[in-house]
A and B are shown apart, each in its own frame.
Chain A
Amino acid sequence: MRAFDETFGLEPYGAAAVRPPYAEVARWLQGASGELLETRRRQAELFFRRIGITFAVYGDPDAQERLIPFDIVPRIISGREWTRLEEGLTQRVQALNMFLADVYGPRECIRAGVVPEELVLLNPQYCLPQVGRRPAKDVWVHIAGIDLVRTGPDEFFVLEDNARTPSGVSYMLENREVMLRLVPELIHEISTRGGLRPVETYPEQLLETLTSVAPVGCPGDPCLALMTPGIHNSAYYEHSFLADKLGVELVEGSDLFVHADILYMRTTEGPKRVDILYRRVDDEYLDPLVFRQDSALGVPGLVNAVHAGNLTVANAIGTGIADDKAIYSYMPAIVRFFTGRDPILHNVPTWRCREPEHLAYCLDNIHELVVKETDGSGGYGMLVGPHATRAEREVFAARVRANPQHYIAQPTLALSTCPTLTAAGIAPRHVDLRPFVLTGANGSRIIPGGLTRVALKEGSLVVNSSQGGGTKDTWVVDGPEPGEVSGGVRGPIDAEGPGGFD
């Protein structure tokens, strides 16, 4: 299985003509000596260390604070490719929001048989306290991170929706900052031919998005705060970074209290009312009166404040049902049901092990499938069939057989590759892409770019930063459009069920 390379297409590496969006980068790479690239890489690392952008890996005491490796070769998406992604992402997030409003409201999609009832109502992610509730302006997922993978010139697939507390946006912003410092000549070159779309307006757009969904009970100018689980959280850097850029207080549960269904923070000037809480704390830790009683991270009464119309929580409580891996395979039908159109972005075909034929297929073909736990994340609890040993496959198969409803299987996709600086020089490495979709009272907006994650190990398909993945800056570049795809964008592939994927 040959992977699509974003620079050379499907031709052997370096043999073919460079695809147009990468023209300047390829020229720049050719002109730059290995020494220069290495210097730039080291400068980037120094910069990240200086600003303290680190990432904690759970369960590894020696690596409490670690830098995510940064690759200085940018990942490029043409303006035209981006337009299509934008449409697809907007449609997808619209569907996610409508799905949430529906499953906590009239449940029409269940009655229409789009999604099996038990998969929603018996799902641990289905949040009973939210039944019958409507968040301000009916927005549930204010910030979504949609993980995309690419397998060909026009084939982008949604690998995963992140509708709870998606992270990574600070890397998108900092990576650009570093690139602007390290390779101004390359960026200048690109600007003269069309231009690199900026990402630095993200904080402003986030602020507008959040203030547009102030609660009905908000008396005047809404006061916003960002809630973090604390400095030991792996994404703490991002929380403090965003609070800083937004110009809002970074609060922990202990800074907050609820009185008469109103949320306040403790400040040196006395209690201050909070109207909108951008929380980076999971649902189950938000309010010990409603969720986990043993958690000290939350605020007793917070859910009451939400229900009384005095507080907007972003993302809304209960969004986990929308990005659940078991629900994922129904997304094409969900998109069609709610938007009335075919999905622009496709799902990766998925076998649901809860269905007997799918389970049989999965077990028979486990050597070429990726098998995932429906409630796993971060690259944990999954098996990449082709890369596993026979023994590993057997152990995993036994687990699937014992508990089939907890697993889904997908074909091992040939994730696209991007030129990446390695110890042995520039070489192709697999990448994915997480764009961030902001949704407020006035619809969705997407910053042109996102977080490109790269699997730094040769041949590896696991891009998660907890498992040795790195990041790249993502450039949406306008310019003369590529001749090679002038035949138009290919129509959607129906990739809903087994066998529908070539």
Chain B
Amino acid sequence: MLSRSASNLYWMGRYLERADFLCRLIDATVRLASLPASHGGAQPAWESAIRSAGVAWDFEQRNLPVEEANVGHFLTLDPENPSSIRRCLEAARANGRAVRTALTLETWEAVNGAFHEIQRFGNAPPDSSTLVRIADSIKATLLMFDGAAHRTQLREATYWFLRLGTTVERADNTARLLDVKYHLLLPRTEPVGGSLDYFQWTTLLRTVSALTAYRWVYRESVKPWLVADLLVFNRAMPRSLIACLEDAVWLLDQLAASRGRRGPANRIASTALRRLSATDIDTLFQGGLHEFLEEFLNENNNLGNAIAEQYLF
């Protein structure tokens, strides 16, 4: 496969995953912001959304008050923000178009469909109900994309590069989200239970579509360290850091098997997975959750670079 095609597929996977993450972030933040001011209120909720999306610096350049109208627009429809849902979908479609022949008709139609769906909402700042509608409809088109890719793409390099992008981006998103909320997740000596925290945790879980999963796995009320455990160590949870690493290792193995070559990317992913498997939540807290996440994000970044280098992007 042409290296450029591999790169396009990888980045298409990344952009779509990022758009999906932003949808769920918006959805959860609108809910959190709708709580009475005694529960924290709207401003901190949107503040936290900006930081979770990793665009705090970009947003500050706008000199706009942190409130729903501005942040919501910035994250969804804003054509000037290179990380808005709109721009992610545009970039994903441009990538898809450049490798049009590697995609099945169904997969291409889904990417193209997501692009046309976001255009439907125009450029103007959306109100709350529009924000929710954007998040819902884009989420739906992206599910369609996953389904199309899963059902129709040949299981070969095309599919693996696409999924590799998804996986690397997903790990990055989960880690960043955890890092923004890490202070909430630290084990405390005093009994937990403030209702503010409860809503914050559930928001976090909602953002990764894991609220129900949490209940199934732990069968108890939401405890912060269990939330961290779920999102870092649970292999059954598709967005957990360990599950992402497992996916990355597997995908890189498939690629290596089909081209008979392993490289730095394979080693970085396997090493990271082995290290994470050998630790647990208590050890992790002792070393500091924030420090752990920073290092994880670094490693993940290295993995991305190694992939680009190994396959001559």
* Residue ranges of A at the interface with B (Cβ–Cβ < 8 Å): 50-52, 230-231, 240, 243-244, 249-252, 254-255, 265-270
Contact of A244 among B2, B6, B101 (CB under 8 A): B101
Contact of B2 among A52, A230, A240, A265 (CB under 8 A): A265
| SS of B interface (majority) | helix
Contact of A250 among B6, B101, B157 (CB under 8 A): B101
Q: How distant is B309 from chain A, measured CB to nearest CB, in Å?
A: 12
Q: How distant is A170 from chain B, measured CB to nearest CB, in Å?
A: 12
Residues in B with CB closer than 8 Å to A52 are: 100, 108, 112
Given A52-B108, A265-B2, check contact A240 B101 (CB 8 Å). yes
Q: Is the CB of B259 within 8 A of A269?
A: yes
Q: Name the residue of chain A whose CB is nearest to the CB of B311.
A: A268
Given A52-B112, A266-B312, A268-B311, check contact A252 B4 (CB 8 Å). yes
B98 is an interface residue with CB less than 8 A from chain A: yes
Q: How distant is A237 from chain B, measured CB to nearest CB, in Å?
A: 8
Contact of A268 among B3, B94, B97, B98 (CB under 8 A): B3
Given A51-B105, A52-B108, A52-B112, check contact A267 B1 (CB 8 Å). yes
Q: Is the CB of A255 within 8 A of B94?
A: no
B109 is an interface residue with CB less than 8 A from chain A: yes
Q: How distant is B15 from chain A, measured CB to nearest CB, in Å?
A: 16
* Residue ranges of B at the interface with A (Cβ–Cβ < 8 Å): 1-6, 94, 97-98, 100-101, 105, 108-109, 112, 157, 255, 259, 261, 311-312
Q: How distant is A45 from chain B, measured CB to nearest CB, in Å?
A: 16
Residues in A with CB closer than 8 Å to B259 are: 268-269
Q: Name the residue of chain B whose CB is nearest to the CB of A242.
A: B101
Mind listing 16 A-B residue pairs with CB under 8 Å? A50-B105, A50-B109, A52-B108, A52-B112, A240-B101, A244-B101, A250-B2, A252-B4, A255-B3, A255-B4, A265-B2, A267-B2, A268-B2, A268-B3, A268-B6, A269-B261
A251 to B5, CA, bound (A): 9
Residues in B with CB closer than 8 Å to A51 are: 105
Interface centre among B101, B261, B312 (most CB of A within 10 A): B101
Contact of A255 among B2, B97, B101, B112 (CB under 8 A): B2
A270 to B4, CA, bound (A): 12
Number of A-B contacts (CB under 8 A): 47
A251 to B98, CA, bound (A): 10
A255 to B4, CA, bound (A): 7
Residues in B with CB closer than 8 Å to A50 are: 105, 109
Q: Name the residue of chain B whose CB is nearest to the CB of A236.
A: B97
Residues in B with CB closer than 8 Å to A230 are: 98
Q: How distant is B115 from chain A, measured CB to nearest CB, in Å?
A: 11
Interface centre among B1, B6, B105, B312 (most CB of A within 10 A): B312
A51 to B103, CA, bound (A): 12
Residues in A with CB closer than 8 Å to B100 are: 52, 240, 244
A230 to B98, CA, bound (A): 8
Q: Is the CB of A266 within 8 A of B2?
A: yes
Given A52-B108, A231-B94, check contact A268 B101 (CB 8 Å). no
Q: Name the residue of chain A whose CB is nearest to the CB of B6.
A: A268
Residues in A with CB closer than 8 Å to B112 are: 52
Q: Is the CB of A249 within 8 A of B2?
A: yes
Q: List 13 extra interface pairs beyond A231-B94, A250-B2, A266-B3, CB under 8 A.
A: A50-B105, A230-B98, A231-B98, A240-B101, A249-B5, A250-B101, A251-B2, A255-B3, A255-B4, A266-B312, A268-B312, A269-B1, A269-B261
Q: Is the CB of B261 within 8 A of A254?
A: no
A243 to B99, CA, bound (A): 11
Q: Name the residue of chain B whose CB is nearest to the CB of A265.
A: B2
Q: Name the residue of chain A whose CB is nearest to the CB of B259.
A: A269
Q: How distant is A261 from chain B, measured CB to nearest CB, in Å?
A: 21
A267 to B259, CA, bound (A): 11
Residues in A with CB closer than 8 Å to B6 are: 268
Closest 9 CB pairs of A and B: A244-B101, A266-B3, A268-B311, A268-B6, A268-B1, A240-B100, A269-B259, A266-B312, A255-B4
Residues in A with CB closer than 8 Å to B101 are: 240, 243-244, 250
Interface centre among A255, A266, A268, A270 (most CB of B within 10 A): A268
Interface centre among B2, B6, B109, B311 (most CB of A within 10 A): B2
Residues in B with CB closer than 8 Å to A267 are: 1-3, 312
A428 to B312, CA, bound (A): 55
Residues in B with CB closer than 8 Å to A268 are: 1-3, 6, 157, 255, 259, 311-312
Residues in A with CB closer than 8 Å to B311 are: 268
Residues in A with CB closer than 8 Å to B105 are: 50-51
